[in-house]
Structure formats: structure tokens, C-alpha cells
Amino acid sequence: MKKLLLAVSILCLSATLGLSQGVKFEEGTWAEVVAKAKAENKPIFVDLYATWCGPCKVMAKNTFTDNNVGNKFNASFISYRIDAEKGEGLTLVKKYPIKGYPTCIFVNPSDEKEIYRFMGARTPSELLEEANKALEKVKK
């Protein structure tokens, strides 16, 4: 009985830890992301990156995987990561012009207008500050 209880406890703990690990980025098209954001009444967070970009890789490895960042972003935004140099990423760059990588943009899903943006890598604590700035603009 003790072994069963221990096994269930470990399984529950593993599942809980797995759910809180980093930002959950949506898969699919921009239209699908916008529709989901409208349905959940959340702004969209867009990470426009390039595969060759060192700071983009650092954010993907160290910042977006942070539990505190994940908790904040998963609760407050619909997040979307896209390679800005191919496919639908090229269309988004025409809509939201960028000057470098990474560029992160917060978008209002109801009219797809930009709320806030920043360029360059951020640490987890810095990204949380950027998220708070975006959320303040959403309130106004």
C-alpha cells in the first residue's frame, strides 16, 4: 500500500511540475492563434526569431523555459513563436515590421494591433517586467 501511495504521489508531482515548465507556445497558423486569443480574451505574445540568432537561442533555452515566466505568460497571454524569415513569419514581419532579433510583440487579438514591443534578449526577470508593461497598456 505504501509503495502504491508513493508511486501515485511521484506521478502527481511529476505531472504538476511538467505543467508549470515554461511558456506554452501555440502551434498552428496566425489565424488560429488570434481565434484562440479572442475566445480566451487574452492578448497575444509573439516571439519573432531567426534560427541563426544567438540571443534568440538563449531566450528559448533559458528564459522561455523558466517556471515563473511560464506561469505568468500561460495565465496572461496566448503565446506564439515563429521564425520571422520563412513561411507565415514573413507575413507577420510585413504586418509588424522589425529591425532585429529577437523582437517580441504583444498584440490585441480583437483588432490585431500592436500593444507593446521590445527587441533583444531578456532574462526571466526582465521578461516578466516586459510582460507587466504590456499588461499595463492593455488595462489602459
pLDDT band of 84, cuts 50, 70, 90: very high
Tell me if 13 is assigned to some domain. Answer: no
Q: What is the CATH number of the domain that holds 128?
A: 3.40.30.10
Give the CA dihedral 44, 66, 121, 101, nearest 10 degrees.
-50
Q: 23, 33, 56, 78: which one is catalytic? A: 56
Give the number of other CB atoms < 10 A from CB of residue 20: 11
**Overall number of domains in the chain:** 1
- The cell for 41 is 480574451
Tell me if 34 is assigned to some domain. Answer: yes
pLDDT band of 91, cuts 50, 70, 90: very high
pLDDT digits (tens, 9 = 90+) for 112-139: 999 999 999 999 999 999 999 999 999 8
Q: Is position 12 annotated as part of the catalytic site? A: no
Q: 53, 69, 105, 131: which one is catalytic? A: 53
Strand order across the 44-49 sheet: 78-83, 44-49, 103-108, 113-119
Q: Is the peptide bond before 55 cis (omega within 30 degrees of 0)?
A: no
Range of the domain at 62: 22-139
Q: Is position 104 annotated as part of the catalytic site? A: no
Tell me if 68 is assigned to some domain. Answer: yes
Tell me if 54 is assigned to some domain. Answer: yes
Tell me if 61 is assigned to some domain. Answer: yes
pLDDT digits (tens, 9 = 90+) for 25-43: 999 999 999 999 999 999 9
Give the number of other CB atoms < 10 A from CB of residue 51: 11
Q: What's residue 140's pLDDT? A: 81
Tell me if 3 is assigned to some domain. Answer: no
Nearest-angstrom CA–CA distance, 60 and 26: 14
Enter the pTM of the model.
0.85
